[in-house]
Amino acid sequence: MEKFLFSIDKISAWVGKAFGWLIMVAVLGVSYDVTMTKLFRMSTPWAYDLNYMTYGALFMMSGAYALSRDAHVRGDVIFRLLRPRRQAIIELILYFLFFFPGITALMYAGADYAWQSWTYKETSVMSIARFPIFQLKFVIPIAAFFLFLQGIAQVIRCVICIRNEAWPNRLHDVEELETMLIHQHEYEQEGEVSAAPDAPHGGGGKPE
């Protein structure tokens, strides 16, 4: 089962990291636009369309990757204080109440939306460049599909946690420095506890 979960995680990671390179396209587009506008007084009517298309595709296609790493923002002020089994029960209920219905609707509506855009070769109305954007609309159902697939893996994790009362392992990835320091501190504390001598047993009587 762990291999199956990791396989889905790897698919989500590969897709997210592949589309992550779009940030370089966006940076180059913005840099070129600013340079031409500020230094040469020349407008680039396609720059705005390029930027929101690349960022939109990056944002959508990285959703499953973020979900696989439990990186989405959540209000866990109380949730994180609960035991893992209760966390898993709450997540399992919420997945079936909100996540899967919403993602299914996004796949269905997104596919229809993309097909309509393709039929009349939709172009952008945000600039005079009339940049074609029908290809961007297909990102919506595709991103929803990968989110749905990753959601299945998350549900399986919830079931495993309910049964074992502990969250199963996840693939390691890049972490913020603050998170790395917390893990290092926890690891050092565990090492100190395991190396400490056994405490004396019994009451507080005087030694013989």
Domain that holds residue 24: 2-172
Residue 146 lies in a domain: yes
Distances 51 to 2, 41, 133 between C-alpha atoms, Å = 38, 20, 12
Residue 183 lies in a domain: no
Residue 41 lies in a domain: yes
| Cα separation, 196 vs 58, whole angstroms | 49
12-47: per-residue pLDDT in tens? 999 999 999 999 999 999 999 999 988 988 888 888
79-104: per-residue pLDDT in tens? 889 999 999 999 999 999 999 999 99
| Cα separation, 188 vs 180, whole angstroms | 12
Residue 26 lies in a domain: yes
Q: What is the pLDDT of residue 41?
A: 85
Residue 37 lies in a domain: yes
